[in-house]
Amino acid sequence: MTEYLENHRPIYLDHAATTPLDPLVLEKMLPYMSEMYANPSSLYSMGQQSRIAVDNSREKIASILNCRPTEIIFTSGGTESDNTAIKGGSQGLSQQGNHIITSSIEHHAVLNTCYQMQDQGYDTTFIKVGSDGLVNPQDILNAMTDKTVLVSIMYVNNEVGTIQPIKEITKLVKEKADSLNTRVLVHTDAVQAPGYLSLDVEDLGVDLMSLSAHKFYGPKGVGILYKKRRIPFVPLISGGGQESNDRSGTENVPGIIGISVALDLVSSKIDETVSKVEGLQSRLMSGIEERIPKVILNGHRTKRVVNNLNYSFSGIEAEPVLLGLDLSGVYASSGSACSTASLEPSHVLMAMGLNVELARSSLRFTLGANNNEKDVDYAVNSLASVIEQLRSMSSFGR
In order, the DSSP letters of 113-181 are HHHHHHHTT-EEEEE-B-TTS-B-HHHHHHH--TTEEEEE--SB-TTT-BBP-HHHHHHHHHHHHHHTT
CATH of 23-268, one of 3.60.10.10, 3.40.640.10, 3.40.50.10800, 3.30.70.890: 3.40.640.10
pLDDT at 60: 98
- 191: number of CA atoms within 13 Å, CB side? 31
Mean pLDDT estimate for the chain = 95
Sheet architecture: strand order including 362-366: 295-298, 308-313, 362-366
Query: Does the annotation mark 338 as catalytic?
Result: yes
Q: ∠ CA 196-199-202 to the nearest 5 degrees? A: 150
CA distance 337 to 39: 33
What does residue 189 show for φ and ψ, rounded to 5 degrees? -85, 105
Instruction: With cut-offs at 50, 70 and 90, classify the pLDDT of residue 398.
Output: very low
Phi-psi region of 282 (alpha: psi -120 to 50; beta: other; left: phi over 0): alpha
CA distance 297 to 307: 14
**Minimum mean pLDDT range among 27-31, 215-219, 341-345, 388-392:** 341-345
Q: Are 228 and 209 in contact (CB under 8 A)?
A: no
Q: Which residue ranges does the chain devote to CATH 3.90.1150.10?
A: 2-21+270-390
**Which among 199, 188, 156, 158 has a CA at the least distance from the CA of 17?**
158
**Which among 152, 201, 151 has a CA at the least distance from the CA of 176?**
151
pLDDT at 252: 97
Instruction: With cut-offs at 50, 70 and 90, classify the pLDDT of residue 340.
Output: very low
CA distances from 18 to 5, 89, 192 (A): 22, 28, 10
153-199 pLDDT, tens per residue?
999 999 999 999 999 999 999 999 999 999 999 999 999 999 999 99
94-143 pLDDT, tens per residue?
999 999 999 999 999 999 999 999 999 999 999 999 999 999 999 999 99
DSSP strand pairing (308-313 vs 362-366): antiparallel
pLDDT at 395: 63
pLDDT at 47: 95
Is 255 in a helix, a strand, or coil?
Answer: helix
Is 309 in a helix, a strand, or coil?
Answer: strand
**Minimum mean pLDDT range among 240-249, 277-286, 331-340:** 331-340
Summarize the confidence of residues 59-76 as an average pLDDT.
98
pLDDT at 245: 87
pLDDT at 9: 77
CA distances from 395 to 41, 308, 316, 390, 392 (A): 65, 30, 10, 10, 7
Q: Is pLDDT above 70 for 339?
A: no
CA distance 278 to 257: 29
CA distance 150 to 205: 14
Residue % of the chain over a pLDDT of 70: 95
- Which of 36, 234, 338, 384 is the catalytic position? 338
CATH code for the domain defined by 2-21+270-390 = 3.90.1150.10
Summarize the confidence of residues 50-68 as an average pLDDT.
98
Is 48 in a helix, a strand, or coil?
Answer: helix
Residue % of the chain over a pLDDT of 90: 93
DSSP strand pairing (295-298 vs 308-313): antiparallel
pLDDT at 8: 66
